[in-house]
Amino acid sequence: MSPVVVLFALEREVAPFRRLMGRDGTPDLVHCGVGPASAGRALDALLPSRPGLVLLAGFSGALAPDLGVGRLVVADAVLGPDGATYPVTHPLTVPGAIAGPIVATERIVGTAAAKRELFARTKALAVDMESATVARRCAEVGVPFACLRVISDDAANDLPPELDGIFADGRPRVGRVLVAVCRRPGLLWQLLALRRATRRAAEALAQGLRQALSAPRPGLGLPAGG
């Protein structure tokens, strides 16, 4: 196993990074699926091999109102759904990224109203569903943990409520998409807008990951890149 493992929930999050780096230029990429339970199952298989770094990467929803689509967020702490705070034990260097806390929830925070409430309560910059599980599990076994997120929907945006079912395993289910669109035709336009936003976010994430992984990483046995 590579000293660095990049853990991600959606194939769409990491595809541009794969293309950017080429077949032999990436660290180990592990697709875990969406949500804390999926992340936990991936870690059950991953952590016994003692990687030098687990870097959780992918999309997140903005909570801070000034963060737009494509903005990179380097987590400096993770707030769990139970109110606990988990450390980020490996710093990342990503030019242009903003550093701050992120919060993990057990379900998608999809409405602007819910995002405002969560921001007022936690002051976290962004929200995801996997980071608390990964941070906690890595801390328990002493594996360094880092987290790089990219904003895929801003704080004022309402996400389609159907997303929970469509991306249950981290990949879109065509049948579920068709059924959902038949039930609510306006969903099609929301999904197309989300596709454009996530494409932009994924491209920004690819550049951020390349910068993060090319920085010197003492103790990981990896050279600094350019």
The tens digit of pLDDT for each residue in 119-176 reads: 999 999 999 999 999 999 999 999 999 999 999 999 998 776 656 655 555 455 655 6
Report the distance separating Cα 81 and Cα 129, nearest Å: 9
Q: What is the CATH number of the domain that holds 84?
A: 3.40.50.1580
Report the distance separating Cα 206 and Cα 193, nearest Å: 20
Q: Would you say residue 79 lies in a domain? A: yes
Nearest to 151 by CA among 208, 213, 107, 95: 208
Question: Looking at per-residue confidence, does 26 or 73 come out higher?
Answer: 73
Nearest to 169 by CA among 22, 31, 58: 31
Q: Domain containing 32: what range?
A: 4-214
pLDDT tens, residue by residue, 76-102: 999 998 889 999 999 898 999 999 999
Say if pTM beats, i.e. exceeds, 0.75: yes
Average pLDDT over residues 13-29: 80
Q: Would you say residue 42 lies in a domain? A: yes
pLDDT of residue 11: 86
Report how many domains make up the chain.
1
Q: Please, what is the average pLDDT of the chain?
A: 84
Average pLDDT over residues 20-37: 81
How far is residue 43 from each of residues 23, 60, 174, 191, measured CA to CA in Å?
24, 20, 28, 30
Q: Would you say residue 221 lies in a domain? A: no
Q: Would you say residue 117 lies in a domain? A: yes
Burial of 31 (0-12, 13-18, 19+ CB in 10 A): middle
